[in-house]
Chains A and B, each alone.
Chain A
């Protein structure tokens, strides 16, 4: 098994563990909210009236958490299906958006906001024939590189840009950042940078530091060799 294929398993485990952790929180809130209602009912019929607001709030919490749980399981399901085919024709913008939702909790733990940027040119969806899970790994690794050098309150914007007929993915860091040269040095010395380089190479692409913005430029071929 090549190194990228080995890393797929670890990546899959990390994302799954992250989403299931959040699902546990959803279940914990539902348990406490329904438990609170049970506590009030157990006190007396009069307690239900006395604590009517608590009862109503609990119902709203339960409803909100169920919706949150459904959204999380949808996310996990889509991610799980990204391994259905080793090679697939994928919509690049859709993959970026999906990855952003998967990485939300990781970003929140770092106090960083993730945003997608629409493509800079209109036209049909940009598609790649590639290994879907490894593409997501590359995008995630680029975020991890940014996390290592960003401070709380920052923002990462990811978008596709078409320049001279080629599509590139730009991962741009914003916020309280060091100088361009220090940013470049910090990223290239981070432990995640060689990981990103390796995954990009597995996809017959490249990852380079942006010369003008605080960011990373990812290039992937329209179709990789099988």
Chain B
């Protein structure tokens, strides 16, 4: 998992910046995007190993970003971030191809464990 390239996508800048710092302290390489359009451009420029994607974002929403990632880069696992009480969103995301979903506020150890499972699931 060391040096794993992660793309974090969430419109809450403070959240995503702090999460990236915590992942970097753990030896992971985390880049951030604050909206769906930027995330898709960043994926084209440099393919991340995994994407952590917020569902509720202004403009291009999480589900549409997920659809496009799965269409253009099906090998990239995507873990969705949803709000508590929004299990339906998580289930919908998995039907659209997400590996799994986690609810905010996050537990970072749970996120890392989920990312490990996602990487192992890839052939």
Contacts and interface: CB of A to CB of B under 8 A. Distances in A.
Interface of A: 20-21, 24-25, 27-33, 35-36, 39-40, 43, 54, 58, 61, 64-65, 108-111, 152
Contacts of A58: 18
B59 A28 contact: no
B119 interface: no
Chain B interface residue bracket vs A: 10 to 19
A115 B105 CA distance: 31
Contact of A61 (B18, B59, B85, B105): B18
17 contacts: A20-B83, A21-B83, A25-B15, A27-B104, A28-B105, A28-B106, A29-B15, A30-B105, A31-B105, A32-B19, A36-B21, A39-B26, A61-B18, A65-B14, A109-B58, A111-B59, A152-B59
Interface of B: 12, 14-15, 18-19, 21-22, 25-26, 56, 58-59, 83-85, 104-106, 108
A25 B63 CA distance: 19
Interface majority SS (helix, strand, loop, mixed), chain A: helix
Contacts of B85: 20
Nearest to A42: B25
B58 A32 contact: no
A25 B56 CA distance: 11
Contacts of B56: 21, 109
Contacts of B21: 36, 54
A28 B22 contact: no
Contact of B108 (A24, A29, A35): A35
A27 B104 CA distance: 8
Given A25-B15, A29-B14, A39 B22 contact: yes
B84 A32 contact: no
A31 B14 contact: no
B14 to A, nearest CB: 5
A30 B106 CA distance: 11
A28 B15 contact: yes
A108 B25 contact: no
Contacts of A39: 22, 25-26
Contacts of B15: 25, 28-29, 32
A152 B37 CA distance: 14
